[in-house]
Structure 1
Amino acid sequence: MKKTAWQRQIPTRPDAKYLKYMKRLYTKSATQDGIPKRPADRRYNTVRLLTPRIESRDREEMFEQDVFYGLDPVTAGEELLRSVLLYSVDNKSSFPLLCSCNLTVQEPSPLSGQTCSSPLRSHSFGLRLEGRKRQKWVEVELASFLSPFLGPRRGALHIVFTYRCVRGAPRRGGNWSRVLRAPSLLLFLNDTREQVGQSWLPSQPGVRLPRRKGRAARQRRGPQQELPQLRFPDPDHECQLHDFRLSFSQLSWDRWIIAPHQYNPHYCKGGCPRALSHRYGSPVHTLIQNILYEKIDSSVPRPSCVPSKYNPLSVLTLENDGSIVYKEYEDMVATTCTCR
């Protein structure tokens, strides 16, 4: 079956533990319907979880990891507010692991085929991992430490982690990489672009979406079939907000949209009364347009029932590179209707 132009590549499912972590973050940040909670002290509207690509090497007294994080999805309009290293704790571990770590951001060598690089910036921190039942994650705060290294066309972020552990080190011949997994990278960002690219929506205008089940296809009106003129609409049929609940599985978008499961964009429908009331908040121009239609020229369109205010929508998605992204999209849920 040939894929249409708009269908995006289905990403590889990430580790279940990290997926669960991001779902918990989504629950804290948005309501069940996907409306962002946005407390006063929160500035971010995007969170990216980047999983590592690792090249490890063991030594007798210390353990080093060459870790790479793909930065291609980060755009120029995303301002970094916080960066956090996220370590997964193995609850089956029978010993505590107490280490000091030094991370160094490396600049890739400009010569192709060479892996050597020069250090740019370093940061040190302590790390304690224990196999407790309630402790599943350890977060290491880096603040905006990585800000100079983010941006478009950055490629991969190369970090060398050097661990020196005083407790819990594996016995001679033990496997460091099983005990001390490379951390994922959490980026808390503020997308400052006015129009955020909605990569989870079809980009081609000719896409035909599935019809809702249980509704017959409506016939198009011919040129001689005009809509009836509602001069004095019934109050029940005046311009007002209506629900329209849909599941992303109906659109086959649930393969990359993790949350919310359902979406209620609402829509505005109904006739606009001849004498507009204050509750619509319509501009004076709408009143003039009504008079033009009624008194002077019926070819002037009547005011239409349209949304006037919106709420944002929080969406948790899987990206093509396997990363998980929490993002808030503006103007996605209509909340108020007006006549214009």
Structure 2
Amino acid sequence: VRASSHGGQPWAGRWYLQPLTYHLEGQPEAEHLLRAAVVYPPPLPLAHGRLLCALELAASSEAPGVLLSPATRPSHGWTEADVTPYLVPGNGSVRSLALRHICVRAGRAGDSDATLAPSQPFLLLYLNDTQAGLAPPAAEPFRHRRDTGTLAHDLPGYLREQGGEKSDCSLRPFPVSFAQLGWDHWIIAPHRYNPRYCKGACPHLLRYDYHAPNHAVVQSFVHQLVDANVPRPSCVPYRYSPISVLMIERDGGILYKEYENMIAESCTCR
């Protein structure tokens, strides 16, 4: 989906500011949106520097001026930022997406750079056609993510796996008390916490939301197609969050401390 730009002169000194709106009214009702990403080029080389760009979600009551973080940071090639949460809030859907394309000239600009316009980002939609009888051709059982240099697969089977079957790699709860761990003699509070853990089989087609490295994708193919003795990737935590505790020091003092990487927040396959 290409953006419709509006506003006056985007350049103001070293800064470039261009409001962009992506309209989704033309999306057929039979096609369900699985994922959406804004794709944009890397920093442009200038005669005496670079043109650095970023994307900002237009301010709203739900998301006041969110700066979109790229899913990858390649040294060359195109970059993409996931905007699925802003297009599919809850069970509904949004009919347009408003962004601001912000760029700045880093370094001294030459005469040829003064009016250089960056390439306009576009919106990439991953859709599932729910019309009966429209099965994907046998010759093309899945699509590859070729734009950002990752081998993870988004389609098909995304919806089927997205529900999080009990056997699939997923985050599981495990509340535990510090008394059970034998730490209650020095941790005052909290008494319990839920570290959570990852368990389950890694899918044959690793979905994008697993954040699996390319090595895991290749290992999965090797297991399926070359040698079953090579194990499938393992289900392990991907991201963690800290917890804060009140603890008793050896001298009897009370200390507030934050321990990093104590709660598993998501899982991956490696």
Class of the TM-score when normalised by the shorter of the 2 chains: 0.3 to 0.5
Considering Cα pairs closer than 8 Å and 6+ residues apart, tell me whether 1 or 2 has the greater RCO: 1
State the TM-score, normalizing by the size of structure 2.
Answer: 0.38
Quick check: which has more Rg, 1 or 2? 1
State the TM-score, normalizing by the size of structure 1.
Answer: 0.31
